[in-house]
């Protein structure tokens, strides 16, 4: 019996659950990169980057090509870049809401009057 779709989605999102992997995918959204090019951008040791790239490769998110002794990585689909862009928009909205809440908390008598969000309701 095949696994439920929600389980496959959860495993997919777990693959994205590491900052180094997200950074790698962001870089690859721009263009193909050699491992050596990614090292300073990702900011982790070479062995750790290799492990993170292997996770992305096993998940089918990146592919490699070899040119001489240099290994280049690229995204398997432009949809990965789209997903990162959507995640950025979602995060922007979430953080904007948190900034509004922080502003409400900083107001001197915030507890004695309705917040900006409830005043117009």
Per-residue pLDDT at 100 exceeds 90: no
- Cα angle 29, 92, 104; round to 5: 165
**Mind giving me the DSSP string for 87-117?**
HHHHHHHHHHHHHHHHHHHHSTTGGGS--HH
- Per-domain boundaries in the chain: 5-76, 79-119
pLDDT for the residue numbered 66: 97
Asked whether 72 and 32 are in contact (CB, 8 A), the reply is yes
Which tens digits make up the pLDDT trace of 54-92?
A: 999 999 999 999 999 999 999 999 999 999 999 999 999
Q: Is the overall model pTM greater than 0.75, yes or no? A: yes
Q: What is the rounded average pLDDT for all residues in the chain?
A: 90
Q: Distance (Å, rounded) from C-alpha 82 to C-alpha 77?
A: 9
Confidence of residue 102 (pLDDT cuts 50, 70, 90): confident
What number does CATH give the domain 5-76?
1.10.10.10
pLDDT for the residue numbered 113: 55
């Amino acid at each position: 019996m095949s696994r439920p779709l929600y389980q496959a989605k959860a495993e997919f999102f777990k693959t994205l659950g590491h900052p180094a992997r997200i950074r790698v995918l962001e870089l690859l959204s721009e263009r193909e990169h050699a491992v050596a090019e990614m090292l300073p951008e990702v900011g982790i040791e070479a062995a750790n980057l290799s492990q993170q790239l292997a996770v992305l490769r096993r998940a089918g998110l990146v592919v490699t090509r070899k040119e001489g002794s240099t290994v280049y990585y690229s995204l398997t689909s432009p949809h990965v870049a789209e997903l990162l862009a959507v995640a950025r928009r979602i995060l922007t909205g979430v953080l904007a809401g948190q900034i509004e809440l922080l502003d409400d908390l900083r107001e001197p008598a915030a507890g004695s009057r309705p917040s900006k969000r409830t005043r117009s309701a």
